[in-house]
Amino acid sequence: MLDRLTGMEVFAKVAAAGSFSAAGRSVGLSQTMVTKHIAALEARLGVKLFHRTTRRLSLTEAGQLYLDSAERILADVEAADGAVAADRFEPRGQLRLNAPVSFGSRQIAPMLSAFTRQHPQVTIDLGLIDRYVNLAEEGWDLAIRIGSLSDSSLVARRIAPCRTVVCASPSYLATHGTPRAAAELSHHNCLGYTLSQRSNAGRWMFGAKAEIALPVAGNLRANNGDALRAAAIAGQGVIYQPTFIVADDLRAGTLVKLTLDQPTEELGGIYAVYLPDRNPAAKVRAFIDFVVDHFAPEPPWDRDLN
């Protein structure tokens, strides 16, 4: 079965050239193939498109009507192809970006103004969700993920490290004492994060390779780090959180970092992930490059943080 769009293109070329052989040369087809395309088109439409004589080739009335429509369709197809091709080279269109709630609101949202000033043809749809989204099924162009990556089907680029810290408010430490060893945390009110795959509400991981598991307990569990941060600032207990959430509070003194006998867990890193494509859209490449530059050589939340 001959391709319908190619047949339409061949027909338009024949009409413009007034010759099957000339049209064939312009599209790289033999005169025989041009004849087959026109015959298939006429058979499908049920009309004659050309008056044929030994000296002259001209459009029938039906052929002229079809040519007008075919030229509009071919122009639309060319424009669509051009738009997609342009997206490969020039950042433009809507970028659907997904990020975890705390990281997205604290670290991604503040930089979007600078990005859109640099790339005014890009609009951003930012979705803040504390779960792993399916990029293909849910229509996301790009997602920010924290920690070890398990989905090997995605392309990932590391955009920043992810340090963690154990901390509490000065008022809590004044009342309950300051632990010096990680094992002492079992005697403190440890506010637990419920979505972590490793350190969670009932177990905090320590050590250079996160090989030490310590049981903890507390009177608050939450699926959002900012909720735990607010409770810790109010003096409720001890939290174990990424520095991108608590860095400003550590600098301000509303939270105090605990210096323990075991290092805190490294969360693997912060990554931008997207669906595999040899030529990802320019808007995706541009945003990843922008974020990497913004966070280099050290992410802003970790700068000048002991």
Give the CATH number of the domain where residue 217 resides.
3.40.190.10
Parallel/antiparallel/unpaired status of strands 270-274 and 155-160: antiparallel
CA-CA distance, 227 to 217, in Å (whole number)? 17
Q: Note whether 12 and 148 are same-domain residues.
A: no
CA-CA distance, 148 to 161, in Å (whole number)? 11
Residue 263 lies in a domain: no
CATH number at residue 78: 1.10.10.10
> Which pLDDT score, from 0 to 100, does residue 136 have?
87
> Which pLDDT score, from 0 to 100, does residue 180 have?
95
Largest Cα–Cα separation, the chain: 105
Q: Note whether 36 and 66 are same-domain residues.
A: yes
* Domain end residue (candidates: 57, 89, 121): 89
> Which pLDDT score, from 0 to 100, does residue 82 have?
65
Q: Note whether 218 and 296 are same-domain residues.
A: no
Q: Note whether 179 and 210 are same-domain residues.
A: yes
Domain membership of residue 194 as a residue range? 164-257
> Which pLDDT score, from 0 to 100, does residue 119 have?
95
Q: Note whether 168 and 245 are same-domain residues.
A: yes
Q: Note whether 190 and 144 are same-domain residues.
A: no
Q: What single string gives the DSSP state of each residue in 38-90?
A: HHHHHHHHTS--EEE-SS-EEE-HHHHHHHHHHHHHHHHHHHHHHHHHHHHHS
Total number of domains constituting the chain: 3
Instruction: Give me the sign of the Cα torsion angle 139, 143, 147, 149.
Output: positive
Residue 293 lies in a domain: yes
Q: Note whether 144 and 280 are same-domain residues.
A: yes
Q: Note whether 63 and 126 are same-domain residues.
A: no
Q: What's the token pair of residue 179? A: 């632990």
Residue 262 lies in a domain: no
Q: Note whether 128 and 181 are same-domain residues.
A: no
Q: Note whether 252 and 227 are same-domain residues.
A: yes
pLDDT along the chain (306 residues), means of 10: 79 86 84 88 89 83 88 81 62 94 96 96 94 89 87 86 96 97 95 83 88 94 95 98 96 96 89 84 94 92 86
Nearest to 275 by CA among 188, 100, 152: 152
> Which pLDDT score, from 0 to 100, does residue 53 have?
79
Q: Note whether 38 and 15 are same-domain residues.
A: yes
Q: Note whether 136 and 171 are same-domain residues.
A: no
